Amino acid sequence: MRDVSEIREEARAALAAGKPVVALESTVIAHGLPRPQNIEAAHAMEAAVRESGAVPATIGILDGKIIVGLTRQEIVRLAEAENVVKVSRADLAAVLAGKRTGATTVASTMLIAAMAGIRTFATGGIGGVHRGGESSMDVSADLTELARTQVAVICAGAKAILDLPRTLEVLETLGVPVVGFGTKEFPAFYCRESGLALLHTVATPQEAAKIMSMQWGAPTVQTGGILFVNPAPAESSLPEAETERLIEKAAAEATKQGIRGKEATPFLLREVARLSDGKTLRANIDLLISNARLAGKISLAYSALK
């Protein structure tokens, strides 16, 4: 992989010394947030990881090369470039072979983080089963990646535009532990509650680190990841009923325009932000930073255990 990947010096040195490192994705930069908020959020997430005592490693693909630990200038490049490929696991080989520039999704970021030796990853919300997925079979690769890759993902649940009950059912079927951080309810991205109860919760980063250690060490030694769900900050979260109304309007517009596949999620997030006069955008940025901060703390605690 040396010909097509590079772990930058800060992350490489931290990993070699057994220090905490947190992976961050780049799809949120290139496709998830508008300019200039995408750049501001990416830098704020890295700062939040550092404040927690860990090293951030934003992952992306530049001209056919995987970069673990993008520089600030490279983050700006991804944020401002046109025709950046949205790269999931299935796209990775083709994008590398074609020497293209791509932004990594949750699934591909997990894969690359695990290859680099990074165990903790912060994002906004994972993908899941899309509404109507029982007939369309539109199910995110994030779920299967969680089932087979040893990385702890810290997020605000699955994106609210998805079918959350079916997403949880699939995670259970795949054997992925879903653990609430300070909550007994599965968060719904912009909303702190969803009405979906969780079986497992932790109250501290140390408790989360112990689950990671048990998941991947003796006596259980499981191959899959862990999902730690962290409710969005209360000050910018939205009520569930209001969010649902916005999503229904956005989904209707997506259907009208014939938008589907990889374009569906970015479109729906943009449309919901427009309909809410930016309230969902503010919530999205706040929860990204909150998750990055928590991931740093969990990574620090896991590093101390190891």
Give me the active site residues, please. 25, 159
Residues 6+ apart with CB under 8 A from 197: 184, 185, 186
Cα separation, 64 vs 78, whole angstroms: 13
Give Cα 17 to chain centroid, integer Å: 26
55 beta partners? 21
In 3D space, the residue among 206, 205, 188 whose CA is nearest the CA of residue 196 turns out to be: 188
HSE of 145 in the Cβ direction (CA atoms, 13 Å)? Answer: 24
Cβ atoms of 110 and 94 within 8 Å: the answer is: no
Give Cα 243 to chain centroid, integer Å: 20
Query: Is 148 buried (19+), middle (13-18) or exposed (0-12) by CB count in 10 A?
Result: middle
Phi/psi zone of residue 127: left (φ > 0), alpha (ψ -120 to 50 degrees), beta?
A: beta
Q: What are phi and psi of 43, to 5 degrees?
A: -70, -35
Cα separation, 178 vs 296, whole angstroms: 19
Cα separation, 294 vs 48, whole angstroms: 9
> 58 vs 49, 118, 143, CA distance in Å?
11, 11, 21
